[in-house]
Amino acid sequence: MLEAFPKQEMLARLNTRLEGGDAHPLEAIITRMLLTKVKLEPEDEDVDEPTPENHEEKNDEDEKPQSITSIIKISLTVLVIGYALGKIAMLFS
């Protein structure tokens, strides 16, 4: 079974073949992909990161006007499309 984040030691042989130019093209692609996963491996969770004491909370008041304007835009768009479809229906009836 493949691990989500493989260990560097496990990829040493593949990396040696890749650097030496002996790897098959498909093997080279897979090795590069696995090596990027090794670089993206999350750090140990045992290490406690310091939390900032001056934590600023998001102000919900800033988001309200944006959500209201988006609701108004969507409702006006629906009304215009409905009006246009009604006119088209009246044209063909």
Domain that holds residue 13: 1-41
Per-residue model confidence (pLDDT) at position 87: 93
Dihedral of alpha carbons 59, 64, 65, 71, sign: positive
Q: Evaluate whether residue 1 is within a structural domain.
A: yes
Instruction: Compute how many other C-beta atoms are within 10 angstroms of the C-beta atom of residue 37.
Output: 15
What tens digit of pLDDT does each residue of 35-80 get? Answer: 777 665 555 555 555 566 665 555 555 556 678 888 999 999 999 9
**23 pLDDT tier (thresholds 50, 70, 90):** confident
pTM value is 0.33
Q: Evaluate whether residue 58 is within a structural domain.
A: no
Per-residue model confidence (pLDDT) at position 93: 80
| DSSP three-state, residue 90 | helix
| DSSP three-state, residue 7 | coil
Per-residue model confidence (pLDDT) at position 33: 80
Q: Taking Cα atoms as reference points, which of 47, 43, 34, 45 lies closest to residue 4?
A: 34
Question: What's the total number of domains in the chain?
Answer: 2
